[in-house]
Amino acid sequence: MARMYADVIIDISHEKVDRPFQYRIPPKLSEVVCPGVRVHVPFGRGNQDKVGYVVDLSDQPDYPVDKIKDIIAVDSKGITAESNQIRIAYWLKRQYGSTTIAALKTVLPVKQKLKQLERKKVVRCVEGDILQEAVFACERKKQVARARVLRAFLTDAVLPYELIRQKLNVASATLMALEKQGLLKIETESYYRNPVRCADREEKRVVLSEIQRGIIEKVLSDYEEGHSGTYLIHGITGSGKTEVYLGIIEKMIGMGRQAIVLIPEIALTYQTLLRFYKRFGDRVSVMNSSLSMGEKYDQIRRAQAGEIDVIIGPRSALFTPFPRLGVIIVDEEHESSYKGEAMPKYHARETAVQIASMHHACVVLGSATPSMEAYYRARQGEYQLFEMRNRQGGSILPRVYTVDLREELKQGNRSVFSRKLRELMEERLRDGEQTILFLNRRGYAGFISCRECGHVMKCPHCDVSLSEHRGNVLLCHYCGYQEIRKKNCPVCGSRYLMGFKAGTEQIEEALHREFPEARVLRMDADTTKTKESYEKILSAFADEKADILVGTQMIVKGHDFPNVTLVGILAADLSLNQNDYRAGERTFQLLTQAAGRAGRGEKPGEVVIQTYQPEHYSIVHAARQDYQGFYEEEIMYRDLMQYPPVAHMLAVLVTSREQEQGEALTGKMVDFVNFCRTARTKEESPDEERRTAQTWQRLQIIGPTEASINKINDLYRHVFYMKHPDYQVLVGIKDELEFFCKREELKNQTVQYDFDPMNTY
Ligand code: ADP
Ligand code: ZN
Ligand code: ZN
């Protein structure tokens, strides 16, 4: 018999309406209303037409029957959430803290059905030698983009249009021009029927090593025996992890299962995608932020219909609704981009494990520098650990020199380049090899201050300094505020208002001064405003149009530069000085990955680490490429301080219109937690009381204080932290605090929860 009532979550993100509202299902809709359906309902006193999601059905009214309103209609264009997705949404909400609707929207990235799209592919129309001629011709005419496209067709006869547009970063006009020349043809086909015979699938199949085969067999036999688990592959870059992923996915597809592959957006390179396309052809799809809503909708539909087997993408690809999910792969598992900034602040790794368990699927994590979380769990036996110690093809690890900058100064060297680094750079310039200079300085841009009174030019809306940009503009990186650079100090009127150049710019100038013959490219937040400029710099460097690439951490990822044989790390310890429990881990990862950029080709690489703290364990172990050594020291520190992953941490961030409001609310929230602590320890039985007392005793509260950036966009930020060994205890406190805030009826204030935060606030 059809159910009479439906619980509906209204699409309004406000704590007050964050609960299901009950509606009657009119008989004409009884066939179509089920959990997950998007419906129109009358809401509030004015009976406004609102949209919501049905999350549950029942026979019994929870209110007097005459108070219950009818569902108006089913939103025929709405995407239906599957019951699994609703379960995941509730799990996200509880585990990470957010409103139900925000959690639902997280798992349903596309709300509306959209018109089905057509798919385009690009086909080569000429023979290889003619194409090669055309490549040379374009190069002579400096038509870089055209040359890049044509080069891709030297190996492949057909490539998906979107892959070329996104990953080779070519304008559609360029492709049309090549079509006019008769070199390529753009073909349109209906999306589903004709699989793109991409890349003629002529993949060089490697013979898997024993280790690789061992991992694949273990994962699959566990799966077939019904106890699929979570696996961590710790393997340096180039050790053959991707080949293992491909092997596992292939076997899964053979069993009729599907796979989600998470790759951080910045590492989602054309080469990586092509490997998946070549192996699985049209059964692979890509999900990323540059897709339109229509394209995203299409991917979801195809996944739901079982028309694709593999989806590749960043964090959000996790919620692809595959009916027969077999495996979730999380590559570069340690990347901080796996945790989102928006509520619910979920971590893709943990969420992957949860989703997989609902499908009895397995999770495979991979990294050259595993997160402390993953490695700790592997050590605890929660994950199974595999180590891959050697690079495929046997290219050897780079040789690393650590230079103590204090010593350089003592020896009278005032340059930003140590003597060792300079010597090696000169060698590279002489031999026509390339160098990468990496400046470990996050979020640092040039700022302006008065040399007379010390006044720093700050954003009026944010608690951060403005940075100088070309055209005499001062810019705020947090809210976009701009002003014209003034001649005189607004405080003392002096004329000595001077800029401090961003680190990378300084390095670039020093290079021009000290290596006038070198061709230099710079890559930082300033030179890479658009994704296009980012790719442009990287491909120019890959094409050996420069000898030296200077950049921030964004150069560490992705591309392979076989001609780079030297990496210089200029200020290795700068990231250590952040007041943040993950600083050591982040430094180790950055240095190890930066060092890994050297010598990826035939030639061996060298690395120079310049630092003021050569004795710091992050630096010592990074120089030795010794992950275990680093892990042992870092985990001792985390244990001692009760930081994640040994214990857990919950950050509560309050944003308010007024400074005093924020102080008051965080103060009250901390008082409330302390009140719970004393109230809860008075239990009925003495045994119970002791246990509860022990639980609460282990709770540590830090703060409340102003956040380190006290104001962003005219909103004041206050924060406090709680630490406890048991994650679920923190979840319980979060639930209480949510309840508390609902009662407080906050005005112009929001509260955000962040479990095991990636940064402190
Ligand atoms: P990772 O994902 O760990 O960086 P890849 O799987 O990309 O490593 O492998 C690095 C390179 O080594 C690739 O070019 C790959 O084709 C090659 N490779 C991987 N496994 C083997 C193998 N068993 N034999 C020969 N080459 C291999
Ligand atoms: Zn001044
Ligand atoms: Zn600002």
Choose one of 203, 204, 205, 206 to mutate for the ligand 1 pocket test, by most ligand atoms within 8 angstroms of C-beta: 206
Please state the rounded mean pLDDT for residues 45-73.
Answer: 87
| Torsion, CA 90, CA 96, CA 98, CA 99, rounded to 10 | 10
Q: Is the pLDDT of residue 262 over 80?
A: yes
Domain 648-755 has CATH 3.40.50.720: no
| C-alpha dihedral (210, 216, 217, 220), degrees to nearest 10 | 180
pLDDT of residue 190: 45
pLDDT at 600: 66
Please report the pLDDT score of residue 325 as a whole number. Answer: 95
pLDDT at 114 over 50: no
Q: What is the pLDDT of residue 360?
A: 94
**Residue 645 pLDDT > 90, yes or no?**
yes
Q: Under 8 Å CB-to-CB from 489, ≥6 apart: which residues? A: 450, 452, 453, 455, 495, 496, 497
Structural fold of domain 210-393: Rossmann fold (3.40.50)
Helix (H, G, I), strand (E, B) or coil at 282: helix
Q: How confident is the model at residue 196 (pLDDT cuts 50, 70, 90)?
A: very low
Q: What is the pLDDT of residue 199?
A: 46
Which one of the ligands is nearest to 454 CA? 2
Report the percent of the chain where pLDDT is more than 90.
41
- pLDDT for the residue numbered 465: 83
The average pLDDT across 237-253 equals 94
Determine the pLDDT at residue 272.
Answer: 79
| CATH 3.40.50.300 domain span(s) along the chain | 210-393, 399-443+503-641
Report pLDDT for 552: 80
Q: How far is the C-alpha of 144 from the C-alpha of 138, rounded, in Å?
A: 7
What is the pLDDT confidence band of residue 693, given thresholds at 50, 70 and 90? confident
Report the nearest-CA residue for atom 15 of ligand 1.
Answer: 240
Pocket of ligand 1 (CB under 6 A): 206-209, 212, 235, 237-243, 392-393
Q: What is the percentage of the chain residues whose pLDDT exceeds 70?
A: 88
Residues of the chain with CATH 3.30.70.600: 648-755
Q: Give the residue carrying structure tokens 């299901």.
A: 20
When pLDDT is averaged across residues 361-378 and rounded to a whole number, the result is: 97
List the one residue out of 709, 739, 716, 741 whose CA is nearest residue 662: 716
Nearest atom of ligand 1 to the alpha carbon of 244: 6
List, edge to edge, every strand of the sheet that includes 548-551: 399-404, 606-611, 564-569, 434-438, 548-551, 520-523
Residue 453 sits at the vertex; the CA angle it makes with 447 and 457, to the nearest 5 degrees, is: 30
Give the residue from 633, 549, 527 showing the smallest Cα distance to 587. 633
506/392 Cα distance (integer angstroms): 38
- 5-107: CATH number: 3.40.1440.60
Confidence (pLDDT) at 454: 81
Average pLDDT over residues 104-110: 78
3 state SS of 117: coil
Give residue 203's pLDDT.
Answer: 66
Whether pLDDT at 264 is above 70: yes
- Confidence tier at 194 by pLDDT (50, 70, 90): very low
pLDDT at position 367 over 90 = yes
Identify the three-state secondary structure at position 206: coil
Partners of 751 in the beta sheet?
Answer: 654
Span of 159-168, 189-198, 266-275, 279-288 with lowest mean pLDDT:
189-198
Whether the per-residue pLDDT at 632 is higher than 90: the answer is: yes
Backbone angles phi, psi at 68, to 5 degrees: -85, 130
The CB-side HSE value for 15 (13 A sphere, CA atoms) comes to: 20
Say what the pLDDT of residue 387 is: 95
φ and ψ at 486, to 5 degrees?
-90, 160
Q: Which residue has the higher pLDDT, 693 or 326?
A: 326
Kindly identify the ligand whose nearest atom is closest to the C-alpha of 466: 3
Mean pLDDT score of the chain, rounded to an integer? 86
Confidence (pLDDT) at 191 = 44
Place of tokens 């106890």: 227
pLDDT tens digits, 527-582: 776 666 777 888 888 889 999 999 887 776 656 788 899 999 987 777 676 678 89
Positive or negative CA dihedral for 687, 692, 694, 697? Answer: negative
CATH 3.40.1440.60 domain extents, the chain: 5-107
Give the pLDDT confidence score for residue 192 in this predicted structure.
Answer: 37
Q: What is the pLDDT of residues 595-610, one digit of tens each?
A: 878 876 677 789 999 9
For residue 227, how far is its CA from the centre of ligand 1 (angstroms)? 28
Contact 24, 71 (CB under 8 A): yes
pLDDT at 349: 97
String of DSSP letters for 511-579: HHHH-TT--EEEESTTTTSSHHHHHHHHHHHHTT--SEEEESGGGSSS---TTEEEEEES-TTGGGGSS
Confidence category of residue 111, pLDDT binned at 50, 70, 90: low
| Predicted confidence (pLDDT) at residue 291 exceeds the cutoff of 80 | no
Minimum-distance ligand to the CA of 237?
A: 1
Tokens matching residue 746: 């906050």
- Between 392 and 671, the more confident residue is 671
How many angstroms does the Cα of residue 206 sit away from the middle of ligand 1? Answer: 8
Ligand 2 centroid, distance to 456 Cα (angstroms): 8
Environment class of residue 577 by beta-carbon count within 10 Å: exposed (0-12), middle (13-18) or buried (19+)?
exposed
Ligand 2: centre distance to CA 486 (Å):
12
Which range (93-97, 115-119, 425-429, 711-715) has the least confidence?
115-119
Q: Would you say residue 515 has pLDDT above 50?
A: yes
Q: Has residue 108 got a pLDDT over 70?
A: yes
Residue nearest to atom 5 of ligand 1 (CA): 240
Residue 626 pLDDT greater than 60, yes or no: yes
Task: List 474's β-bridge partners, or say none.
Answer: 468, 483
Residue of 365, 392, 395 to mutate, ligand 1, most atoms within 8 A of C-beta: 392
CA of 548 to the centre of ligand 3 (A): 34
Task: Tell me how far CA of residue 660 lies from CA of 471, 478, 664, 674, 710, in angstroms.
Answer: 38, 22, 6, 21, 12
Q: What are phi and psi of 209, to 5 degrees?
A: -75, 170
Q: What is the pLDDT of residues 199-241, one digit of tens each?
A: 455 667 889 999 999 999 999 999 999 999 999 999 988 889 9
**Cα–ligand 3 centroid distance for 443 (angstroms):** 14
State which of 481-490, 548-557, 750-759 shows the largest mean pLDDT.
750-759
Distance from the alpha carbon of residue 207 to the mean position of ligand 1, in angstroms: 10
pLDDT of residue 195: 31
- The arithmetic mean of pLDDT across residues 175-202, rounded, is 64
Pick the ligand that lies closest to the CA of residue 465.
Answer: 3
Please classify residue 139 by burial: count the beta carbons closer than 10 Å to its beta carbon, then call 0-12 exposed, 13-18 middle and 19+ buried. Answer: middle
- Per DSSP, the three-state class of 227 is coil
Residue 216: helix, strand or coil by DSSP? helix
Of the candidates 150, 155, 130, 154, the one whose C-alpha atom is nearest the C-alpha of residue 139 is: 150
Which H or E run contains 232?
strand 230-235
State the architecture of 399-443+503-641 in CATH terms. Answer: 3-Layer(aba) Sandwich (3.40)
For residue 409, give the H/E element and its range: helix 405-410
DSSP calls for 326-348:
EEEEEETTT-GGGB-SSSS--BH
Average pLDDT over residues 473-477: 82
**Looking at residue 118, what is its pLDDT?**
58
